[in-house]
Amino acid sequence: MTLDDIRALVRADLGSVDDVIRARLKSEVVLIDRVAEHIISGGGKRLRPLLVVLAGRACGHTGHSHVEAAAFIEFIHTATLLHDDVVDGSSMRRGRDTANEVFGNQASVLVGDFVYSRAFQMMAAVNSPRIMEIMADATNVIAEGEVLQLMNAHDPETTEQRYLEVIYRKTARLFEAGAEVAAVLSNCPIATQRSLARYGRHLGTAYQLVDDVLDFRSNPAERGKNLGDDLAEGKPTLPLIHALRGARESERVLIRTAIEQGGLAQLEPIIAAIDSSGGLEYAAALARRESNAALAALEVLPDSTYKEGLAALARFAVEHTT
């Protein structure tokens, strides 16, 4: 099942999510509208809203609140991207100029704050203390992840455990929250809510691991990001961490220097060192284990086309490494 096939299962819901996103991003402040339109027109896979509406339908939800939830989950993600691009000094995302490149850092940060606060307005309107608790905890953990990543930047001593902690907090935690929120809205039993949360956590981890593999093995035109972006920013991702453990001394010196200083001057020999150490295969194998754990968490759900869509999403997360 392709990503388009998965989307087709909930096409009407996704259309409603897009409508909600456009409506909720409207503002009387002209600059907010301009930045918001830039964000919306940028597209993207919208995996997190897809996860929420699929999980809601798989849990038997028949109302509209899962659409609102999908939109506020996407808003949290969007706000973090706006802030990330400023912190990282990124100029391209999804194959086009970032908001900070077009409108400047100040506008990007402030509109990110607007999107973030709008998400909480939408959460409050759902009128569920449990959902507010899930999302408040998740956003706090995400913020901690941003700081942890900043601490790891340019540090070649970053361990695999520290790296995995960052990707859980920065990426997987929002997937986890989205799946759990969908289960809560559907009035699922607590055991099902926890299983859906596990599914989201493992899915998000697999997705980020694969994204870090693709940083050294992808077509920039297709991925919408430059090859080696993480290395250029001095981020020690798992392929680099693994290569530091198994590469020759001369290669380790090269990788350590690149992490410490950032930049892409030695990108080709570093990719060769990662390849020779099996760094990409190591990260991809871990991603597959996470994907399998996500699939196992779905066993609690009754059979349905939506459950099949969730399973296909877990497989998609790792199948696009080639």
Strand intervals (E) in 75-230: 92-93, 96-97
The dihedrals phi and psi of 15, each to the nearest 5 degrees, come to: -65, -40
CATH of the domain at 261: 1.10.600.10
Look-up: residue for tokens 């059979």? Answer: 303
Per DSSP, helices labelled H in 59-104 are 65-88, 99-103
Contacting residues for 174 by C-beta, under 8 A, at least 6 apart: 48, 73, 76, 77, 138, 142, 204
Q: Residue 254 belongs to what domain range?
A: 3-319
Instruction: Output the CA–CA distances (angstroms, integers) from residue 139 to 133, 172, 175, 190, 256, in the order listed.
Output: 10, 12, 12, 22, 32
pLDDT at res. 124: 95
Closest to 45 in 3D by CA, of 69, 85, 92, 78: 78
If phi > 0 it is left, if psi is from -120 to 50 it is alpha, else beta; for residue 96 that is beta
Contacting residues for 301 by C-beta, under 8 A, at least 6 apart: 58, 59, 192, 195, 307, 310
Per-residue pLDDT of the chain (322 residues; tens, 9 = 90+): 899 999 999 999 999 999 999 999 999 999 999 998 888 877 678 899 999 999 999 999 988 999 999 999 999 999 998 998 888 777 777 678 888 888 999 999 999 999 999 999 999 999 999 999 999 999 999 999 999 999 999 999 999 999 999 999 999 999 999 999 999 999 999 999 999 999 999 999 999 999 999 988 866 555 555 678 888 889 999 999 999 998 899 999 999 999 999 878 889 999 999 999 999 999 999 999 999 999 999 999 999 999 999 999 999 999 865 4
- CA 242 centroid distance within chain: 22
Look-up: residue for tokens 């929002």? Answer: 174
Q: How many independent structural domains does the chain possess?
A: 1
Q: Assess contact for 48 and 173: CB atoms under 8 A.
A: no
How far is 194 from 170, CA to CA, in rounded Å?
Answer: 20
Closest to 212 in 3D by CA, of 195, 231, 199: 231
pLDDT at res. 218: 63
